[in-house]
Amino acid sequence: MLKLIDMRVFAIALFFVVVWGLSRATPVGDPGFESRAGKHLRPVLSKRQEFNQGEPVSADGKGARILGGTNKQLDLQNPDNLGAQSTDNGVVPNLKWSFSDSKVRLFPGGWVREQVITDLPSSHDIAAAQQHLKKGALRELHWHRVAEWGYVYAGSIRVAAVDEKGRNQVDTLQVGDIWYFPKGQAHTIQGLDDENEYLLAFDDGNFDATGTTFNVDDWITHTPKSILAKNFGVDESIFDTVPQKDPYIAKGNVSKPEIDSPYGKLEGNSSYVYKLSQKDVPPAPGGGGTLAIVDSTNFPIATTIAAAVVNLEPGGLRELHWHPNAEEWLYFHQGTARATIFLGGAIARTFDFSAGDTAVFPDNSGHYIENTSKTERLIWIELYKSDRVADISLTQWLALTPPEIVAETLKIPRDVVDRLKKEKQRLISTRK
């Protein structure tokens, strides 16, 4: 009897030794590994997504960690590129570019960096640039074969322009103000504060193409001096000091603010300037921020570039919508954002954005924009190659369609359809 008890004690002890040994044999740091024997001896750890760690690993076990070369900071900034949204599907071309990826061109009076169609091939309608001017510095006298649109976000500037009728405008712009120079109109820009910076946009994605920008000193140095002398009624030697190399942004002194034209001023509906900084912008429908529209309805001269300046609260949402009249080009000035672009045919892709990024949403594509920060407001600018800003709200469309049709199409309860808002909720607040 004693021997039988000893054998049982030995068997129990051996069992626990085996269990302990198997648990020690499981590879450290690999919670997905389970030996055949150990599978039933301890609970399986639940998997966690690793997108916020910059790794393409989903909660359901799909994907794996990146083992090759990668830019970890970019991976962390773009979790949706790693597959974070399971609703993404199909192939969507890149719709995003950062000004930080653009080559900066340095000049004595400042700098410029561009985003053109060679940087973002999906942006057919709009090209853009950030431009910086020191105090007194001049973007030299020039004109374009395309329209120019600008928004001041630091400092103050002076614009001067003349139209084909000889009317002129010399005006000072502060932060938040906008200008628009129609195709072919002669103009210049000067910095007034110690440091000044603004966003430029043009209604052609291929802005760097030959024959787009015409600088006055470049033209003069490539015209025979005998012709210049005859044209201006002066001696040929006057033009010996004209810069041989296009200065683009030159040093200068702050100019006098006014010069009269016998043909009158560009003012009223002909004005090239819109003082948004002086406007009272009401809260947008939905209560999540402000959306200031500047297009030909309130800025008549702006017939080819329509704009919206948007300020969205933390966690807020620019509602699901699309634009029936043009591509949407965007510049993110402050904050972080997420947007999913739906191209039809079960094709969609989500992008992450931060300050300095630009983007383009294809003509008529469905999308939203979400402020992903819990503390910081999201500020961006929307531009359209159009005379007006136009959007169609998904919620409003469904709310104004016979409810039985909506309920049957989406297979959702009728009472849910009845509660949909009939008014656009452009910026949706998440505040309780």
What is the set of active-site residues?
382
Q: What angle do CA 36, 39, 40 make, to 5 degrees?
A: 120
Count of alpha carbons within 13 angstroms of residue 243, beta-carbon side: 13
**What is the rounded CA–CA span in Å between residue 122 and residue 343?**
13
Spatial distance between the Cα atoms of 144 and 149, rounded to a whole number of angstroms: 11
Strand order of the sheet with strand 110-115?
A: 105-107, 110-115, 127-134, 195-202, 148-154, 178-181, 273-274
Phi-psi region of 248 (alpha: psi -120 to 50; beta: other; left: phi over 0): left
Helix (H) or strand (E) holding 410: helix 403-410
- Are 242 and 155 in contact by the 8 Å Cβ rule? The answer is no
Per the listing, tokens 């653009």 go with 102
Residue with tokens 């269990």: 19
Q: Which of 138, 120, 61 is nearest to 327 (CA)?
A: 120
Buried b (16+ CB within 10 A) or exposed e, 390-409: bbebebbebbeeebeebbee
Cα separation, 358 vs 123, whole angstroms:
10
Q: Which two tokens stand for residue 285?
A: 């429908």
Distances (CA, A) of 120 to 116, 123, 354: 6, 6, 17
